[in-house]
Amino acid sequence: MRILSVVGARPNFMKIAPVVAELRLVPEIQHCLVHSGQHYDQQLSGSFFDELGIPKADVNLQVGSGTHAAQTAEVMKRLEPVLLDFKPDLVLVVGDVNSTLATAITASKMNIRLAHIEAGLRSFDNSMPEEINRKVTDTLSDFLFVTEDSGIRNLRAEGVPEERMFLVGNVMIDTLLHHRELARRSPVLEKLRLRSGSAVSPYAVLTLHRPSNVDHLETLEGLLSAIHQIAKQIPVLFPVHPRTMTRIQDMGLANYFESDPQSTTGLKSLDPLGYLDFLCLTDHAKLVLTDSGGIQEETTVLNVPCLTLRENTERPATVDQGTNQIVGTDPKRILEVARQALHAGTPLPRRPPLWDGKAAKRIVKIIVQQNHLSVSEGERLPAVSAAKN
């Protein structure tokens, strides 16, 4: 059996890593890994292959940046000859980026079966490009691998047949749990002068990248002003996405960063971090503020309070069963909830069902069962059937 997987952006690498490892255990599967090149910066792309033990991509489409339409079209154009050459029996896509959508459309038009890892997530906000990508990909997919109960409910409401849905857990958490101990040995805390011996100074972490937050002066300045106030109480470390830094500089908002490297408080900008360094930083944080979907999931498992700087989330399990709070972009609300979270301390640990580090095993088990293949080694899981929840 020939399987082709496509990755394109930072979260995709973390999600595909455990699946690739499990596919290697099936001798009857020939696997091809395609990197679309949607993220082409070394810090946001290449380092993840090294750190997560993913083999170098068999094919790099080298698409690069562009508008949503241009990027999607370019992936489709460059992927089609790869599919014609490799002739896969199944194409795997992960997440909700433009590469995911482009791959789904291309594979479907070529009558190749499609599997979507992280299916069924919905923000119910069509102004988010990711929401369109999710809906179209799920509509076209033959196998829908779902991370949480809400995904099953959403797909049922959209009329997806039961036999196509599988509640398998979260491959992002597979990667986190597998690498957590290694990440704890990262020297990043020492480099940032946050750890001396076994003692770690308290700090918060911020990430911002969504266009709705960083492309509008009023919104971005409001967010930075609120974080600036929080940073008077606790230092806030901000690994800045290159695109976000460009917006901050163009809008003249760099004054919100602490300029004194000796200061023990303030909003401190950092260069983008590799996966292990960022996981270490998040794992030891007192608070995380983010507009990222994946970080909502990671902080839930790490048991770190998380404030999501959006009006909605496609990952409600992180709120219902985790440490996440949706606070929007109003500066007063952000400041109020952040102070409450810092005062409350560490929350009681809660974790959604099947977020146990075995999601990739379940996914490959289903592929094996559906195609009458056999697994040569590794841990066997009980037979997996379509979602029952």
Question: What tokens does 355 get?
Answer: 């977020």
CA–CA gap between residue 384 and residue 382 (Å, rounded): 6
Of the listed 39, 209, 228, 372, which one is catalytic?
209
CA–CA gap between residue 205 and residue 178 (Å, rounded): 22
Taking the mean position of all CA atoms in its chain, how far away is CA 340? 27
CA–CA gap between residue 328 and residue 330 (Å, rounded): 6
CA–CA gap between residue 169 and residue 356 (Å, rounded): 7
Through-space distance between the first and last CA atoms of the chain, rounded to whole angstroms? 30
User: Angle, to 10 degrees, between the axis of helix 10-23 and the axis of helix 171-184?
Assistant: 100
Whether residue 209 lies in the annotated active site: yes
The CA-atom distances, in angstroms, between 134 and each of 123, 129, 153, 387 are 10, 9, 15, 19
H helix runs in 231-376, sequence order: 242-250, 275-283, 293-302, 317-320, 331-344, 359-370
Q: Which residue pairs, CB below 8 angstroms and at least 24 apart, start in 84-87?
A: 84/110, 86/2, 86/4, 86/32, 87/2
CB distance 375 to 29 below 8 Å: no
Beta strands at 143-146 and 59-60: parallel, antiparallel or unpaired = unpaired
Question: What tokens does 102 get?
Answer: 């482009």
CB distance 50 to 207 below 8 Å: no
Question: What tokens does 159 get?
Answer: 């009329």
Beta strands at 287-290 and 306-308: parallel, antiparallel or unpaired = parallel
User: How many CA atoms, within 13 angstroms, populate the side-chain half-sphere of residue 367?
Assistant: 32
CA–CA gap between residue 314 and residue 135 (Å, rounded): 12
Catalytic positions, written as ranges: 209
